Amino acid sequence: MRVRVDFDSCDSNGLCAAEAPTVFEVRDDDFLYVLQENPPQELWPEVTRAANACPKFAITLEER
């Protein structure tokens, strides 16, 4: 799985980071960072929850 974020849509509310903190992080500069673009399979459930939690539909999960 590859994680894509539409940073133009993201408003850095951190909801994805709350679901998957080892994959998404909102830093002090108020930007979202993707820590793992290709998260291991054990993280897929929480990454999926993070994508579903995004109110801006900014997170896309691509099959690889």
Interacting residues with ligand SF4 (CB under 6 A): 5, 10-16, 24, 26, 32, 53-54, 56, 58-59
- Kindly report the length of the chain: 64
To ligand SF4, the closest distance from the beta carbon of 42 in angstroms equals 20
How far apart, in Å, are the Cα atoms of 7 and each of 11, 34, 41, 42, 58? 8, 11, 24, 25, 7
Nearer to ligand SF4, 9 or 38 (CB): 9
Q: How far is the CB of 11 from ligand SF4 (least distance, A)?
A: 5
